[in-house]
Amino acid sequence: GAGVSQSPRYKVAKRGQDVALRCDPISGHVSLFWYQQALGQGPEFLTYFQNEAQLDKSGLPSDRFFAERPEGSVSTLKIQRTQQEDSAVYLCASSFAGGAFFGQGTRLTVV
Amino acid sequence: GQNIDQPTEMTATEGAIVQINCTYQTSGFNGLFWYQQHAGEAPTFLSYNVLDGLEEKGRFSSFLSRSKGYSYLLLKELQMKDSASYLCAVPSEGGYNKLIFGAGTRLAVHP
């Protein structure tokens, strides 16, 4: 497709469950970002990839969060042993140069 | 560090003009972005300012004053579909456009 695609759109997880969120960036985009957006807040940076290299993971809130982009295209954000405070929208963005193009996000609800 | 402030909520009438302000503090300046985000949707790019002054793009204009650390987004001839959150963002230091977002301004347009 022409835009950034994320799946699933919605995910409900029981506390303690592991989840995996997928991002398909725009083809050819070198840069890929993951952001977390709590209700009523702006997106907050989690991690950044340049091709397959994870160059910045300073925003990941704990070691339960892990991201990968093994072939420099599709990326997966994995959250282990989910907790209620992980409930948020997880946004993926890709860019070639300049401004970022965002996907619609995955809304994660931990119950 | 970097800090961005914008009003939490604004209301306006259909057909009117509204100005959404954003103040920022950043150690190095690499431009300022405005994004629009409808509820449950992806943030979409509106504007990018790197030089002082007003840039007009149809009904939307964006202004920047680097010396004052200030920007505004001006929306003219408001339509109901303009009801959304408007996010101000600046790239962080690092050279790869990791964005630092404000909390967003929720605009409600009434008939």
Tell me if B43 and A50 make a contact (CB, 8 A cut-off).
no
* Radius of gyration of the CA atoms of chain B, in A: 14
Residue in chain B closest to A88 (alpha carbons) equals B40
Segment holding A44, helix H or strand E: strand A44-50
pLDDT at A96 over 80: no
Tell me if B43 and A91 make a contact (CB, 8 A cut-off).
yes
pLDDT of the residue at B93: 77
- pLDDT less than 70: residues of chain B: 1, 94-96
Residues of A with Cβ-Cβ distance to B40 under 8 angstroms = 104, 107
Burial B23-37 (b: 16+ CB within 10 A, else e): bbebeeeebbbbbbb
Residue in chain B closest to A59 (alpha carbons) equals B98
Tell me if B99 and A105 make a contact (CB, 8 A cut-off).
no
**pLDDT tens for residues A38-74?**
999 999 999 999 999 999 999 999 999 999 999 999 9
Nearest-CB residue to B48 (from A45, A48, A99): A99
B97 touches B40 (CB < 8 A): no
Nearest-CB residue to B97 (from A43, A95, A104): A95
